[in-house]
Amino acid sequence: MTTAGQALGARGEAAVSQHVACPRCGRKRHLTRLPRNFQCADIICKFCGYLAQVKAVTLSAGSEELPRRVPGAAWGPQQEQMLAGIFHGLYFVGFAPAGKLLRIDYVPGHVLQASPEVFEPRKPLGPKAKRAGWTGFTYNLEKLPLIGIQRLYPL
């Protein structure tokens, strides 16, 4: 069964695939979704192999501004990739509460590498949680240099 968050994520990945050209090779409609639970990446370019992460959010009613913080995924795999010097590009996709696509923003991997403070680990889940001990992270967009985020949709 798909959760509301998973459905939102799938809509975000579909929006990037439909509206964004690959930042490496420039081919339109070549970004395609990876299988669910692929580690640290959501889309791949069918031509050049470019990998990126997609984070979809529902924006506040009447606002088109991205939130200050966006939930990431599991901290362990993300931290391992960061320590290995691997930083994939990142797309933020914003939807209105009614579901309309409002914006797609892109942060290149090299900007994330230069600003690792954007990644903030969260507290591990408590002992009574379904996934006790699991640790996630948050993207703190306030720590991202303004020049590092590019609005791609609408142009």
Cα 149 from chain centre:
12
Q: What is the pLDDT of residues 54-105, one digit of tens each?
A: 999 999 998 999 999 999 999 999 999 999 999 999 999 999 999 999 999 9
Q: What pTM, to 2 d.p., does this model score?
A: 0.95
User: Is residue 1 over pLDDT 90?
Assistant: no
Contact 89, 52 (CB under 8 A): yes
Cα–Cα distance for residue pair 41/31, rounded to 1 Å: 12
User: Is residue 109 over pLDDT 90?
Assistant: yes
Task: Report the percent of the chain where pLDDT is more than 70.
Answer: 100
pLDDT at position 92, please?
A: 98
Domains of the chain listed by start with CATH number: 4-153 (3.40.210.30)
User: Is residue 2 over pLDDT 90?
Assistant: no
